[in-house]
Amino acid sequence: MENIQEQIGILVKLQEVDGQIYKLKDTLQKKPAEKEALKEEFAQKGDRLKQREEELKAAQLKRKDKELDLEGKEKDIKKYQAQLLQLKTNKEYVTMQREIEGLKADKSALEDSLLELMDVIDRLKVEVQKEKENFAAEEKKLKEETVKIDQEVKQIEEKVAGLEGQRGQISVNVDKTLLSKYERILKAKEGLALVPAVGESCGGCHQTLPPQVINEMQMKDRIVTCDFCARLLYWPEQKDE
C-alpha cells in the first residue's frame, strides 16, 4: 500500500458514513415491530368493544327469556282464573286460588327483574356506543401513526440511499484488500470497523492497548488491528495534550 496515512484518512471518512448508515438501518429494522405493536394495541381495544357487545347481546337474550316466562305466567293466571269459575268444591276453589296467588307473586318478581334488566341493557347500550366511538378514534389514530411510520421509513431510506452514494465515492479510493477487510469487520462488528485510540485504549472495545501496538499506530507504516476486538485502529491526528 502506497500511503497508509492517506488510506487511513479515507477510511475515517468512510467509517463516518458507514456509522450513519448502520444507525439508520438499525432504526429501519425496528419500524415493522413498531407498526406491529400499534396493531396489537388496536386489536386489544377492538376486543373490549366485542366484549361489551356480547354482554349486551346476552342481556337482551335474557330479557327475551324473561318476557316469554312472564307471558307464560300471565296465560296460566288467565287459564286458572277461567277454571276457577267451573270448580265445584270449596277445597278445589281454595287450592286453585292459592295457585293463582303463587303465579301472581312469580309474575310480580319477574316484572321487577325485567325492569332491572332493562336498566342494565340501557347502561350497556351507552357503553357499547362509547366503546364504538373510542374504537373509531383509535382506528383513526392507528392509521395516522402507521402513515407517520411509513413516511419515516421513506425518509430514512432516502437518507441511506444518499449516504450509500457518498460511500461509493469514498470507497473507490480505498485499497481493495484493505476495503474488503474493513467491510468484513464492519459487518461483524455492528457498523464499527475503524476506531481511533482513545488515550491508550481501543476506541471500540475500550481495552488497554499494549505499548508496541501504540508505537505501531504512531509510526503509520501499516494498519494496526486491535487484538481484543479485531477492529482496525488508528492514531488520532490531533491530540489536545
Residues binding Zn ion (CB under 5 A): 202, 204-205, 226, 228-229
CB nearer to Zn ion: pick between 100 and 224: 224
Q: Which is nearer to Zn ion, 80 or 228 (CB)?
A: 228
Give least dist CB 233 to Zn ion, A.
Answer: 7
Report whether 167 contacts 20 (CB < 8 A): no
For residue 206, give the C-alpha cell.
475500550
**Which helix H or strand E contains 225, and what residues bound it?**
strand 224-225
Quick one: CA dihedral 216, 218, 223, 227, positive or negative? positive
Q: What's the one-letter identity of residue 181?
A: K
In angstroms, give the least distance from the CB of 17 to Zn ion: 21
Work out how close the CB of 188 gets to Zn ion at its nearest, in angstroms, rounded to a whole number: 12
Closest approach of Cβ 205 to Zn ion, in Å?
3
Asked if residues 65 and 114 have their Cβ atoms less than 8 Å apart, the reply is no
Judged by CB, which is closer to Zn ion: 147, or 198? 198
- Which residue's CB is nearer to Zn ion, number 128 or number 213? 213
Minimum CB separation of residue 227 from Zn ion in Å reads 8
Residue 152: alpha-carbon gap to chain centroid: 17
**Phi/psi at 6 (nearest 5 deg)?**
-65, -40
Separation between Cα atoms, residue 18 and residue 36, nearest integer Å: 28
DSSP code for 222? S
Closest approach, Cβ 228 to Zn ion, in A, equals: 4
User: Is the distance from CB of 53 to CB of 128 less than 8 angstroms?
Assistant: yes
Query: 17 vs 226, which CB is nearer to Zn ion?
Result: 226
Q: Say how far apart CA 188 and CA 226 lie, in whole Å.
A: 14
- 136 versus 198: smaller Cβ distance to Zn ion: 198
What is the closest distance, in whole angstroms, from the C-beta atom of residue 169 to Zn ion in the complex? 28
Q: Which residue's CB is nearer to Zn ion, number 194 or number 204?
A: 204
SS3 for 74-137 is: HHHHHHHHHHHCCCCCHHHHHHHHHHHHHHHHHHHHHHHHHHHHHHHHHHHHHHHHHHHHHHHH
